[in-house]
């Protein structure tokens, strides 16, 4: 599961353990909710996918130039 969502297995394990204990703390002292964690993960995924789209656009342009 960790590889599927782009996380290190230990990080995922630590998050589950903290969630079970009710201690999902962020970098500061305030608690981070599971929804906030999911939002952060989704934002990271959007950035990763945008990078992939940019790479594919460039590759498509290169192939189109070669075909002419």
Average pLDDT of the chain to the nearest whole number? 80
pTM of the predicted model over 0.85 = no
Q: Rounded to 5 degrees, what angle do the CA atoms 7, 12, 18 make?
A: 145
Is the pLDDT at 45 greater than 90? The verdict is yes
Report the pLDDT value the prediction gives residue 4, as an integer from 0 to 100: 65
Residue 21 near residue 60, CB atoms below 8 Å? no
Is the pLDDT at 14 greater than 80? The verdict is no
Mean pLDDT of 6-10: 65
Sorted by where each begins, the domain ranges of the chain are 1-31, 33-68
Report the pLDDT value the prediction gives residue 7, as an integer from 0 to 100: 60
């Amino acid at each position: 599961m960790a590889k599927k969502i782009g996380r290190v297995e230990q990080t995922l394990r630590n998050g589950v353990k903290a969630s079970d204990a009710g201690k999902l703390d962020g970098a500061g002292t305030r608690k981070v909710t599971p929804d906030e964690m999911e939002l952060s993960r989704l934002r990271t995924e959007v950035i990763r996918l945008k990078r992939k789209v940019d790479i594919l656009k460039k590759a498509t342009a290169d192939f189109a130039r070669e075909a002419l």
